[in-house]
Structure 1
Amino acid sequence: MIIEDEVIIARYYMETPKSLEKITRNAASEQSTGLGTRSGFETGGLIETYGAKVVSVDSTEIGDLNKGIVEIAYPIKNFGPIIPMLLTTVAGNLFELAEIKNVKLLDLDIPPAYLSEFKGPKFGASGTRKTLGVFDRPLLGCVIKPCVGLEPETFAQAAYEASVGGVDFIKDDELISNPAYSPIEVRTSATMEALDRAEEETGEKTLYAVNVTDEVANIMGNAESAISNGATCLMINVIVTGFSALRMLAEDQSIKVPIHCHRDMFAAFARSPAHGISSQVVSKLARLCGADHLHAGSIDGKLFEDNDTVIKSSETMRRQWGEIKPTLPVSSGGQNPCTVEHNFELLGNDFLILAGSGIFGHKDGATSGAKAMRQALNLAISGTALKDCPVEDKELKTAIRQWQPSLDK
């Protein structure tokens, strides 16, 4: 008997040369009571209480390689509200079983009782908007480019130029954290001074997300250093540091700024349609552990996920989910002023679009690149097509000639 509030149901795609039903039963046993040959200690009562149970097996192809979607219910009492143990259970040894050719963890159905064990994002989408004072449009951000090599003063100047152009948000690239040539405390102090100058000129606030990714023992120290030097947001590379590192940051009462999550290395296990872990699962776990913002892929960008997958991940981050606040989806990777319109059409109002080269690669510099992004966003909101860009939006006109010359009149 399966009591829904006491289990997490994992949905998988599987391929095996053997019986799909039998292999699913084997996987359920492997990931719970775990004995291929039953021992005297593995009583019927123990199996009933702690054993994972097959919920469904839906064969989609039968032949030399049997394929299908299967569901397994795992008792929460086996792992509790501990994400490493949850992942060990739903994505552990079954991925190594020789009799399974491919397996992909597609989704997790998490009951309300389990959700209640987590605090989720402190700020989320609404809290980030409140911090910025921007409520009526998508948020616009940039990644400082080049990714690495800029000393703090030059980095700060780049941030200033983007900020006066109209971005709401600036982040470190995932490739820079605390290198000797740009220590967190020096880079943060210089950048926040530059952003304060920009705010005095424009009257608009720009958040700066400082990347605190490090060995786990150093992450809190990096966060404290960033915040003490004025950081208005933190960033963590959530896959390489782990969901527990994110949760540690998010649930610490001294952290009073949003946390921006980059998912680099994600594609190493997500890219194959037949094997690995899906973006849906990553989106849920990051939100559960406190991601205020999370990369969802890239609409019309350079990344591998198609637009439908980006939309699905974004919906997962934003939908009602118990008391867990919505996470702000981020569309990033190959964005420029000419992709803003379609991003807005597909993702709506509640997302953050990030551009790197699409701002810093603008022919007339970063300020013009940021202005072009803002102008493109204003056009999209007004319902005016990019091809009808008015002549007074000269920065956007230049961007169109640069990135989509077929639209230039």
Structure 2
Amino acid sequence: MKQPRIQADYLLETPGDPFRTAEVMAGEQSSGTFVRVPGETTQLRERAAAEVVEVDVLEEFVGTRSLPSAEPSPLAERLVRARVTISWPLATLGPSLPNLMATVAGNLFELRQVSGLRLLDIRLPDEFASVYTGPKFGVDGTRELAGVHGRPIIGTIIKPSVGFTAEETASLVANLCEARIDFIKDDELQADGPNCPFNDRVLAVMREINASADRTGKKAMYAFNLTGDVEEMKRRHDFLVRNGATCLMVSVNSVGLAGFIELAKFSELPIHAHRNGWGYLSRHPQLGWSFNAWHKIWRLAGADHMHVNGLGNKFSEPDDSVIESARACMTPMFKEKPCKVMPVFSSGQTVHQAPGTFAGLGSPDLIMTAGGGILAHPDGAAAGVTALREAWEATIKGIPLTEYGSSHPALSAALERPSA
């Protein structure tokens, strides 16, 4: 019977032979080392070694290495870039996400033969889907809790990011609830500091959210940032549940994969996965991770929402990369377990980005969080919520924003302000 295997695709740059470099990568990340050792028999290699599935040479050029190396190099030399696919037998590590990361994204980045390496994609056997739950809420569960169907979930971030007390935060939340906002989140910098303690913030904010829900029947979803060690996150999670919260947020790179897996095991609320720090994993085009590969780890571990940046964002990511990331969130990972996760568009988002976002994603299944795009509206935060909702109404109906704005004052005022 054919044994299940893991596959990973890489963009490799090397001054050497790409086929030989790929073999070195496979050996380093499985049964081999720099020299043959006793016990590494042919039978063991057949059973446990990684295999080079494909090496597709993309380009050969004369230039300088993307990354420094222990081996001295001239200012310009012959370099090769290739797409490399390597596979591993599942039996050597089992369906374990932490050990998967060590296998597909471990020491191979440090090999001296490598002058550039980026993990592009991973494909996992069904055994991983049997061990990990994936999103408990995802798109459908989030929509049910937020009470929003057929359009994007409109949200904002508490701004200023830090500095408000718990009561000042609650005052802004009360204003946003009056505007019937769908979703609000802590900034990732707001955690449990003495100026705005977590428990105090939860009590003050949920007081306003619950009061608004009693009056209007609509309960805004608030993602409280509970990032911390596992015991802290457990205590904060339980406090959220006792006080009627419907979402939590965590900085995934801060808590690490093992911490996130534990959080997902006990969480009774949707997990809003914030990717702050993503730049150090991805910004160099020849190093690190593609979002497509990276997000699958956290998605399978239990993320319900994942940040994908936004069109026309204030950071460095181009629009086509943002859309590709959002589509990846909605692409099934396994035939019997789609594990779809809700993409979150953020970073400098305003009414101007609605048409391009909808055209690129081809679906209203998203959360759009606009901080300044809502809170800096010339007529106030409530008008900012209305304007963003109207922008999406127009977009889904196929009506140009300027045309729709002629009869919708909040949208018209927002359109007069520049995009990020």
Instruction: Give the paired residue count.
Output: 401
Q: 1:377 aligns with which of 388, 392, 397?
A: 392
SS of the residue corresponding to residue 239 of structure 1 reads: helix
Distance 1:202 1:381, change over 3 A: farther
Partner residue of 2:28?
30
Q: Distance in 2 between matches of 1:62 and 1:230?
A: 59
Whether contact under 8 Å (1:166, 1:374) holds in the other structure is: no
Of stretches 106-115 and 49-58 in structure 1, the one that deviates more from structure 2 is: 106-115
SS of the equivalent of 2:136 reads coil
SS across alignment from 1:242: helix
Aligned letter for 1:139?
I
Deviation per CA, 1:88-130, whole angstroms, max 9, x where unpaired?
1111111111220110001001122332221101111011111
Amino acid at match of 1:14: L
- Please say which of residues 345-354 and 219-228 is displaced more in the overlay: 219-228
Q: Are residue 53 (structure 1) and residue 51 (structure 2) matched?
A: yes
Q: How does 1:36-185 map to 2 (within 5 A)?
A: 36-63=34-61, 64-185=78-199
Provide the rounded CA distance (Å) in 1 between the counterparts of 2:332 and 2:291: 18
Cα pair 1:140 1:167 within 8 Å, conserved: yes
The answer on whether the counterparts of 2:252 and 2:274 sit within 8 Å (CA) in structure 1 is yes
CA distance in 2, matches of 1:38, 1:201: 73
SS at match of 2:416: helix
Seq. identity, %: 36
Equivalent position SS for 2:308: strand
Alignment of 1:169-248 (within 5 A): 169-248=183-262
With the length of structure 1 as denominator, give the TM-score of the two structures: 0.94
Contact kept in structure 1, 2:186 and 2:225, CA below 8 Å: yes
Q: Hey, what's the Cα distance between the residues in 1 that align with 2:333 and 2:24?
A: 32
- Contact 2:9–2:85 (8 Å) recurs in 1: yes
What is the distance in 2 between the residues matched to 1:81 and 1:212? 28
How far off its partner does 1:198 sit?
Answer: 2.7
Higher mean C-alpha deviation, range 275-284 or range 158-167: 158-167
Q: CA RMSD in A?
A: 1.8
Q: Is 1:11 aligned to 2:9, yes or no?
A: yes
Q: How far off its partner does 1:81 sit?
A: 2.4
Deviation at 1:201, TM superposition (A): 4.3
1:297 alignment partner, SS class: coil
Whether the aligned pair in 1 keeps the contact of 2:230 and 2:263 (CA below 8 Å) is no
8 Å Cα contact 2:202/2:224 also seen in 1: yes
Give the aligned partner of residue 407 of structure 1.
Answer: none
The answer for the alignment partner of 2:345 in structure 1 is 331
Q: CA deviation at 1:202?
A: 3.8
Residue matched to 1:271: 283
Ranges in structure 2 where 5+ consecutive residues have no aligned partner: 62-77
State how far apart, in whole Å, the 2-side matches of 1:304 and 1:402 are. 22
- Deviation of the 1:145 alpha carbon: 0.5
Helix, strand or coil for the counterpart of 1:176? coil
Supply the distance in 2 between the matched residues of 1:34 and 1:212 (Cα, whole angstroms): 42
What CA deviation, in whole Å up to 9, does each residue of 1:174-229 have, x standing for no partner? 11111111111110111111112333444322101111111344222222223223
- Larger mean CA deviation between 218-227 and 52-61 belongs to 218-227
Q: Secondary structure at the match of 2:348?
A: coil
How far residue 6 of structure 1 moved from its aligned partner, in angstroms, is: 1.6
8 A Cα contact 2:323 2:357, kept in partner: no
Unaligned stretches of 5+ residues in structure 1? 405-409
C-alpha offsets along residues 302-356 of structure 1, whole Å, 9 cap, x if unaligned? 2322222222222221123331431101111110122222222222211111111
* 1:189 and 1:230 in contact (8 A); partners too: no
